[in-house]
């Protein structure tokens, strides 16, 4: 996967000394990430996730429903979070209660 152009431009501005420091940091970071990847998650402790909550209007898709011309039904609360690269979404209801 190629680096974003903005990052490439910023890296070109670094001095040789800064590049060597960056290489050392990257090597350490890669090693750290590989070690963390080999650890199995502890089933007793749940994975911590960051949740984002949003109120949304939805359209039901039924012919002749008033939602087709207006905002839609709702608003309803939804929770969003990431699992790896996938964005997940869960319906919560009309009132946001409790955490995800």
**Helix, strand, coil fractions of the chain, as percent rounded to 5:** 35, 25, 40
Three-state SS at 35: helix
> Where exactly are the structural domains of the chain?
5-38, 52-93
CA angle 75, 79, 80 (to 5 degrees): 120
Q: What's the pLDDT tens digit per position in 79-91?
A: 999 888 899 999 9
Which one, of 80, 21, 19, lies nearest residue 49 by Cα? 80
**Prediction pTM value:** 0.47
Res. 45 pLDDT band, cuts 50 70 90: very low
Residue 73: pLDDT band with limits 50, 70, 90: very high
Q: Can you tell me the distance from the alpha carbon of 50 to that of 54, in angstroms, rounded to the nearest whole number?
A: 13
User: What is the per-residue pLDDT across 17-35, written as a single tens digit (0 to 9) for each?
Assistant: 988 998 888 888 877 777 7
Ranking 3-7, 76-80, 84-88, 96-100 by mean pLDDT, the lowest is 96-100
């Amino acid at each position: 996967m190629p680096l974003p152009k903005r990052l490439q431009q910023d890296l070109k501005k670094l001095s040789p000394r800064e590049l060597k420091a960056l290489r050392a940091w990257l090597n350490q970071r890669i090693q750290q990430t590989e070690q963390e990847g080999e650890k199995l998650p502890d089933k007793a402790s749940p994975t911590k996730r960051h949740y984002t909550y949003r109120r949304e209007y939805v359209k039901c898709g039924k012919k002749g429903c008033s939602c087709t011309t207006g905002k839609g039904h709702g608003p309803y609360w939804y929770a969003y979070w990431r699992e790896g690269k996938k964005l997940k979404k869960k319906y919560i209801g009309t009132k946001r209660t409790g955490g995800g």
